[in-house]
């Protein structure tokens, strides 16, 4: 698992995302990226991401569910990465780093149990 600081700008129901730097936990596989997410029904977030670096082919999609309190969201990413044509994993975002890790761990546990 790795974490990143992501800057988010909101314009109505659209979020524009961009990481500040490569993940410290994954310096070899990390890369700079940007993305866009649209909010549906005030709880479902669907979007995409692409690499901002030349020669990095990583790109894909996001699906998040916003917690009712608005403080965090958890979901999945699916896309192409250096690991292969079709990769996927759990992802989370929160205002606080500790909460983001907690949400990510909960998602991983559910995934490992087949939920």
- The answer, yes or no, to whether residue 82 has pLDDT greater than 90, is no
**What predicted TM-score, i.e. pTM, was given to this entire model?**
0.89
- Which tokens go with 54? 């030349």
- The answer, yes or no, to whether residue 60 has pLDDT greater than 80, is yes
User: How high is the pLDDT of residue 13?
Assistant: 97
User: How high is the pLDDT of residue 115?
Assistant: 67
Average pLDDT over residues 18-30: 87
Name the residue with higher pLDDT: 40 or 27: 40
Residues 61, 79 contacting (CB under 8 angstroms): yes
């Amino acid at each position: 698992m790795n974490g990143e600081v992501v800057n988010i700008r909101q314009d109505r129901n659209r979020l524009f995302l961009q990481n500040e730097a490569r993940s410290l936990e994954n310096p070899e596989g990390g890369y700079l990226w940007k993305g866009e997410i649209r909010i549906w029904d005030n709880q479902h977030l669907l979007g995409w991401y692409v690499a901002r670096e030349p020669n990095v082919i990583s790109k894909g999609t996001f699906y998040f569910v916003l917690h009712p309190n608005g403080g965090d969201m958890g979901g999945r990413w699916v896309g192409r990465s250096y690991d292969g044509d079709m990769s996927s994993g759990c992802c989370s975002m929160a205002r606080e780093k500790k909460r983001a890790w907690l949400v990510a761990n909960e998602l991983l546990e559910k995934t490992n149990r087949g939920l």
